[in-house]
Structure 1
Amino acid sequence: MKFKKWIQSLIFYEILLGMKETLKHFLNYRPITLEYPHVKKPLPENYRGMLGLLRYDDGTEKCVGCDLC
């Protein structure tokens, strides 16, 4: 009987720890997501842009080996 009571108290303690963690995050709320079209995420300095297949003036492709073709 003592073991059963110990297990029940342990489970209750774990539930309280989980609730404490939940309340901590609930009370210290800060938005994680951005309102994308209106607020844009700052880009890092080493960002080079989107991949794309560029062409010379005569229409031939500038191949850089990116496998987009």
Structure 2
Amino acid sequence: MSVLNETIRGSLQIAQAMGTTLKHLFKAPVTVEFPNQPASIFPRFRGRHYLRRYENGMERCIGCALCEAACPTGAILVEAAENTDAHRVSPGERYASVYEVNLLRCIFCGDCEEACPVEAIVLGHDFSLAQYARRDLILTKEDLLNPPEPNVVIRPDA
């Protein structure tokens, strides 16, 4: 009797799986031809890092290194330098002379973004981060201040 029950139960599971397959067989594909078509992502997606500036062009980063301290993997390196009247980079007393993000170690958790008191570091929407060389996955301050434009469309929250 147990063999008969197992056969019937197995046949019902196969029929259910075939029903799911047939239901999706006649729907339009959801494939996106990236990079020819922009990819659709959610608004809270966390991708490539970038450093923000104020409207007057000054850097927001004040070199406090709170993002470095908050990073659970140690993927951020910040070296601060003093601002002078002749060479003013940020509105604070200090600025980040060196700012690097190692994308090989980053887990895109957003802790750096939350720890920043001046909202200087932000995780954007760019997800196309593939590189051929490992060195290219370490973003320098110049890379972070001048990010590429992401090829994405923000979809509304579902």
Q: Determine if the TM-score, normalized by the shorter chain, exceeds 0.5.
A: yes
Alpha carbons of structure 1 residues 61 and 36: separation in structure 2 relative to 1, 3 Å: farther
Sort the Cα spacing of 1:32 and 1:59 in 2 relative to 1 into closer, same or farther, 3 A.
Answer: farther
Deviation of 1:22 (Å): 1.0
Contact 2:50 2:121 survives alignment (8 Å): no
Q: CA deviation at 1:5?
A: 0.7
TM-score (norm 1): 0.56
> Is the contact between residue 53 and residue 61 of structure 1 (CA under 8 Å) also seen in structure 2?
no
Identify unmatched segments of 5+ residues in structure 1: none
Kindly provide the amino acid, as one letter, of the partner of residue 38 in structure 2: K
Secondary structure, aligned partner of 2:50: coil
Aligned residue in 2 for 1:56:
58
| Structure number with higher helix proportion | 1
Looking at structure 1, the residues matched to 33 and 90 of structure 2 have their Cα atoms a distance apart, in angstroms, of 37
Q: Counterpart in 2 of 1:15? A: 14
1 CA distance for matches of 2:11 and 2:5?
Answer: 10
Matched position secondary structure for 1:51: strand
> 1:52 and 1:67 mapped to 2: Cα distance?
5
Q: Which runs of 5+ in 2 are unaligned?
A: 44-48, 60-86, 96-117, 123-140, 142-158
Which of the residues 29, 33, 41 maps onto 2:31? 33
Is 1:3 the equivalent of 2:5?
no
2-structure distance, mates of 1:44, 1:12 = 39
The size of the alignment, in residue pairs, is 63
Larger radius of gyration: 1
| Identity value in percent | 17
- TM normalised by structure 2 equals 0.30
CA 1:32/1:7 → structure 2, altered by over 3 Å: closer, same or farther? same
Q: Which has the higher contact order (CA 8 A, sep 6+)?
A: 2
| Structure 2 CA distance for partners of 1:39 and 1:17, relative to 1, 3 Å | same
Cα 1:52–1:22 shift into 2, 3 Å: same
Tell me the secondary structure at the aligned position of residue 17 of structure 1.
helix
